[in-house]
Amino acid sequence: MVVRRHTSVVLPELIPSIKRKTWLKLLGVTLKDNRRNWDLHYEEMLKKASGRMYIMKVCKYYGLSIKQLDLLFDSLIMSIFTFAIELWGCAYDGKYLNQIDKLIKRAHKNGYISKRTHIKEIRDKREKKLWNKITSTEDNALLELLPEKRRRYFDFNMSSDNHKTELTTLVNELMTDIDSKPLHPRNELLVYSRYVLSKISWHFTIAILSKTWVIENIDPVVNQYIRKWLEIPIPGTLSTVFLTRNKSGQSIYPPSVKFIQCQTVLLKALKLSPNQSINELWKSTNTHTNIQYDFYNSTKEVLKDFRSEHEDKLQNQLTCQGSFFSSITKSSLSHLSKVWSTAQSKLPQNIYNLNIRYINNSLPSRKNFSRWGLSSSSECSFCLGPGSLLQVVTGCQCYLDRFTWRHNSILNFLANTLQSVNGSALYAEVPGFKSPSIITGDTYRPDLLLSLSNGSLYVVELTVGYETNLENNVNRKKAKYKELVKQLDENFNEVNFINLSMSSLGIFAQECSTFLEMLKNVGLDKNYQTYCVRKMMTIAIRSTHYIFCRRNKEWESPDLLTI
């Protein structure tokens, strides 16, 4: 066998008494003239591994535990394939590695191993480990063979324009890779937030960039994919998405904010370093274009400033798209925001995305179509009222049976939850329960009455309206049932009026704190209270989604929603 590099030198003639071989076994690896042909080595490995599979079969028969079988499989069989895989593993995947994967799959199917591994992943890890070993040793002879581009960051010989080009390419590749995966939008945002931003933070720290360049060149790439994942149209703002989860946002931020954080950390490290030389470095750069980032003391301040800017934008500039945020900031029960965020995160993709677009008022309502120039009329096709989102989900007089269905779906869940309270009598305005009018009469018809054995009575009135009407609904129902509470107070030891005002997207009004107190007083533990609230929120969100999808269509009177 002749081992040589590419050369035009003609080989000497064969010696008749010496047969020239086409292969050579060296340190357990069979090499051939053709560097891409590993048939002999592969066949030898597979033959040896197949023979040892019988040992696995016998050991399993005699009762070895799965942990022992795993160890035996790694020692007897996987060691054959992983030996020198860095050398031969880069050959044709379909010809070699895929066949090995089939053998491992068969072993897993037969119960010889507890977890199926992929030989390609093992190869990649081994190759990366070998690469790191080569590049981390300065006196390694192979280091000189590497292209100059591989070592550009050691001597900083890369131009600013080249660095910008590479950064733009990297962001595009990472976002495209995430987009190609079959992930739920919340997981796509999570991967972006935890992986992409951390991946580019090194570039943001050492490269000569400006905030303006990042905003103009990197942010649009990311924002494009965020809009795609959440199905937000161009007219829809991303300000609501950038808010924290306790304010109905997604707790993400664009690359430009990460850039400011990186610059803040860098300048603070230079400025406060105990090393005098590094202090001098900061002094020599304190007139740099990025000196503006000395304004921040920490990365948290950067985020706080960014989100405050978007909150102000929603409240004072984008009043139409910011109405949801303004309303819940003013009227919602803030300590339930985490529960609502959890309920939202568990929604399927179509309802999850509709939720996001509901929040920034970018759903395809007739009023939005008119605003976007896609329709000449903004009137509701049923009642001829303004075809706004409010009109579709809570306001259309021709949709009252739909709104009643949503209301009763929530009430039905609450009634079924409270009927298990010991020593109580329950009355509810839903099928299957006694009517509250038995106690209140026909003049006032609250949604639910819960009479306890100690002589106390809870009067629950559920209202499901638009977010901007949370406070108005509370005041309206309080005035309506004021007289009833006085009348009932004469017949019961204690009467508690529970003004349960919710929004069509499951947001609880501040007045609902009395509802939580009621759940506690009737004996529900804290975890079950949270479960009940989350279920009510989920029913509200899902029923509103169905109502919106059935807009401009006839109502089919479905059964009450249960989840």
Q: What is the 3-state secondary structure (H, E, C) of 71-135?
A: HHHHHHHHHHHHCCHHHHCCCCHHHHHHHHHHHHHHHHHCCCCCCCCCHHHHHHHHHHHHHHHHH
* pLDDT greater than 70 at residue 226: yes
Q: Which of 426, 493, 483 is nearest to 460 (CA)?
A: 426
- List pLDDT tens digits, range 89-98: 776 656 678 8
DSSP label of 560: P
Across 29-39, average pLDDT: 73
pLDDT band at 100 (very low <50, low <70, confident <90, very high): confident
Question: Quick count: other Cβ atoms within 10 Å of Cβ 466?
Answer: 22
CB burial of 94-126 (b: ≥16 within 10 Å; e: otherwise) equals eebbeebbebbeebeeeebbeeeeebeebbeeb
Do 412 and 532 meet the contact criterion of CB atoms below 8 Å apart? no
Burial of 491 (0-12, 13-18, 19+ CB in 10 A): exposed
CA distance 130 to 152: 20
Do 357 and 231 meet the contact criterion of CB atoms below 8 Å apart? yes
Q: Which of 264, 269, 260 is nearest to 309 (CA)?
A: 260
CA angle (530, 531, 532) in 5-degree steps: 90
Q: Which of 355, 333, 327, 320 is nearest to 249 (CA)?
A: 355
Residue type (1 letter), 553: K
* pLDDT greater than 80 at residue 87: no
Q: Which residues pair with 56 in a beta bridge?
A: none
Across 232-244, average pLDDT: 93
Q: Which of 438, 432, 405 is nearest to 419 (CA)?
A: 432
pLDDT band at 213 (very low <50, low <70, confident <90, very high): very high
3-state secondary structure of 24: strand
- List pLDDT tens digits, range 460-488: 999 999 999 999 999 999 999 999 999 99
CA distance 291 to 303: 18
CA distance 185 to 181: 11
3-state secondary structure of 252: coil
* pLDDT greater than 50 at residue 416: yes
Both structure tokens of 536 = 């009510």
Do 519 and 448 meet the contact criterion of CB atoms below 8 Å apart? no
- List pLDDT tens digits, range 259-301: 999 888 887 777 777 777 777 766 766 655 444 666 778 889 9
Question: Quick count: other Cβ atoms within 10 Å of Cβ 399?
Answer: 21
- List pLDDT tens digits, range 366-394: 888 888 888 877 777 777 778 788 888 99
CA distance 519 to 513: 10
Q: Which of 420, 517, 404 is nearest to 460 (CA)?
A: 517
Q: DSSP for 545-557?
A: HHHHHTTTS----
* pLDDT greater than 80 at residue 67: yes
Burial of 93 (0-12, 13-18, 19+ CB in 10 A): middle
Task: List, in order, residues 6 or more apart from 8 with CB less than 8 Å away.
Answer: none
- List pLDDT tens digits, range 137-184: 767 777 677 665 444 444 445 567 778 888 999 999 999 999 999 999
Q: Which of 396, 324, 400 is nearest to 363 (CA)?
A: 324
Q: Are strands 23-26 and 456-465 parallel, antiparallel or unpaired?
A: unpaired
* Mean pLDDT estimate for the chain: 86
Do 389 and 324 meet the contact criterion of CB atoms below 8 Å apart? no
CA 282 to chain centre: 39
Residue type (1 letter), 340: W
CA angle (198, 300, 338) in 5-degree steps: 90
Residue type (1 letter), 447: D
DSSP label of 288: S
Taking phi over 0 as left and psi of -120 to 50 as alpha, with beta for the rest, 423 belongs to left
DSSP label of 194: I
Q: Are strands 23-26 and 448-452 parallel, antiparallel or unpaired?
A: unpaired
